[in-house]
Amino acid sequence: MMRQQAKIGFWKNSLVRRYLAFSLLVAILPLTITAVLYDSLTANLLKYMDAQQDTLQLQQTQSSMEYMMRQHRNALRAISELPGINQLLQPEPALTLPRQVLNLIYFDIDRPEIYGAILFDRHWQLKRAFPGQSASGYPYWGEGDLNIATLPRFPYGEALLLGPQKPMTAQSGWYLMAFPLSANLPGEVSPGFIAFQIRLASLTQHLPPIMPEGGAQSCLWVEALGCFDSLGRWRDSLPEEIISLPLWGGWTLAMIPRVLPSLGTNQQRLLLALMAILSVVGVCVFFYLVVLRIRGRVVPLIHAADAISQGQWDTRITPKGNDEITLLATAFNQMTSRLNALLIAQSDMERKAVWGEFATGIAHEIRNPLATIKVCVQALPEQDDENRELRDMMVTEIDRINHLISNLLDYALPPQPNGEPVLLSGLLHRLHVLVSPLAKDKGVLLSTDECCPYAVMADAGQLQQILMNLLINAVEATSPGGEVKMSFTVGSKGLCVMVKDTGEGMTEKQLAMVTEPFYTTKTTGTGLGLAVSLCLAKQNHAELGFDSKPGHGTTVTMRFEKDFICEPETNTVNY
């Protein structure tokens, strides 16, 4: 009687109910702790990240400004070292202008950020001005006053920075970079200075752009003057909280950090509650999907185990994926396969035990009377030819019954093989000689591949009995004019001895029953030959395989594993 399969509910008798609350706790508790620590950690973290970003921007700005300033300083150094540069300090009537010096000066000031080059004596008195492409007004044209006494001065390597001059009406801000002229003789004081008048906005344009209200603001801070933004505009003060990076002397890059947005208390609570609700919903949905997926893989295991408990030993599970459940399904399949093999082996042993008891009883109860009958029949007087023929027929039938009993005993209680090296070439030759008369009488061509240099560990008598049964069956199944061939092959799977005929072949149903006891497709015979052959083959560590199709003959293969193949020796059994 089939027992009713237990129903597995999604909630009542499932692991879902046990682990859902635990999963929610695991999901919500970290969220709560994170929310509590948010106020004390997030603001400082954002502030630190902004500071790092601002510092990086200042470093990039410093690099670009330094590159521009170094170019101007190198140009001034090259001009100050030119021969004859000091002649430009002399009064103009006595001046013979060095053409090479003038060409280099005008070449270096031919840039949009340079107003021009100015020559000072050692007392910072203006001696000469050379206009560049952006020059306008005094000291390049017209009259005026260039007052540099009030400008702050800062060292920049060997050069000096003067200014910057704050922007005024109709005039942009500027600064001077001056370099001392080379002295005429070693040890003398420099006779003067060569300076570039540079537009301030050309330097401050390297600053990060001006951000909207609340964003980070950057400027160039000059000691005693104030700060200048990226457009060169001046402001006199800075807030206390700034990020700074020194440039040259009293020149400093400054960054006013952005104002970090903050949430109000009610907004924080609302956001926390919303995040908690979304987390709970997300965990529930995720947990539901995970449970559905796991149940879809666990439930087949439960059903398969239930089927095994009901005696369906061929139940198998198709493994899916590559995880623990897949390993469990694979182990389950291996367990059921081994269990099925053990049950088959146990059933076969029980069947053989019954057959053994039955065959032993039959042999004892039938052979003794048969022997008596045979003796009595042979003692009958031969009165005429008819009685003699009848007596011979009775003796023949008695011998046939004895042969049947012998086969039955061989199947039920097969003798233990005496394993020894058996040379296959001699065995195949002997079988060919023994079966050739039967094949010749039936008009069947028998061919044998006798050139086999291998030997196998087996019982010589049982091996001959197996192959003899196969050859006789093949000859009897082959029509006159057909062929039976016995050959061998050696490969990676071992050594195979094959018996192939060109008979009518067998159907799949007949192949499935061919080794069953008392099953035969012939009008004569007991149906025990192949059953006994299969049993003897197993005892000699060989396998019998059958391949047949209707109308294409049958091929029977006896295969020995490599472990049971040996080289011929002097003590090898040779027929």
pLDDT at 83 over 90: no
Confidence at 4, pLDDT banded by 50, 70, 90: very low
Q: Which amino acid is at 442?
A: K
pLDDT for the residue 293:
77
Residues 286-295 have a mean pLDDT of 76
Each domain of the chain, given as residue ranges in start order, spans 1-262, 313-413, 420-566
pLDDT at 428 over 90: no
Architecture of domain 420-566: 2-Layer Sandwich (3.30)
What number of other Cβ atoms are within 10 A of residue 412's Cβ? 23
Cβ contact 85:194 at 8 Å: yes
Residue 542 is inside which H or E element, if any?
strand 542-548
Residues 448-471 have a mean pLDDT of 85
Q: Which amino acid is at 462?
A: Q
Cβ contact 442:475 at 8 Å: yes
Angle among Cα 167, 168, 169 to the nearest 5 degrees reads: 135
Q: Lowest-pLDDT range, 174-178, 244-248, 569-573? A: 569-573
CATH tag for 1-262 (out of 3.50.50.60, 3.30.450.20, 1.20.120.1200, 1.10.10.60): 3.30.450.20
Residues 172-186 have a mean pLDDT of 87
Q: Does 482 or 235 have the greater pLDDT score?
A: 482
pLDDT at 5 over 50: no
Cα–Cα dist 546/557, whole Å: 7
Cα–Cα dist 489/493, whole Å: 10
Residues contacting 231, CB < 8 A, separation 6+: 201, 204, 205, 210
Q: Lowest-pLDDT range, 36-45, 220-229, 244-253, 539-548? A: 36-45
pLDDT for the residue 96:
62
Q: Lowest-pLDDT range, 13-22, 209-218, 484-493? A: 13-22
- Reported pTM: 0.43
Cβ contact 227:242 at 8 Å: no
In what order do the strands lie in the sheet containing 565-566?
420-423, 455-458, 565-566
Cβ contact 526:520 at 8 Å: yes
pLDDT in tens, 543-556: 888 999 888 889 99
Tokens of 408: 């039955």
pLDDT at 95 over 90: no
Q: At what angle do helices 324-379 and 385-412 cross, to 10 degrees?
A: 150
pLDDT in tens, 563-572: 888 876 645 5
Residue 563 half-sphere exposure, CB side, CA atoms within 13 Å? Answer: 3
In what order do the strands lie in the sheet containing 494-501?
445-448, 483-491, 494-501, 554-560, 542-548
pLDDT in tens, 393-409: 777 767 767 766 666 66
pLDDT at 2 over 50: no
386: left (phi over 0), alpha (psi -120 to 50) or beta: alpha
Handedness of CA 288, 293, 295, 296 (dihedral sign): positive
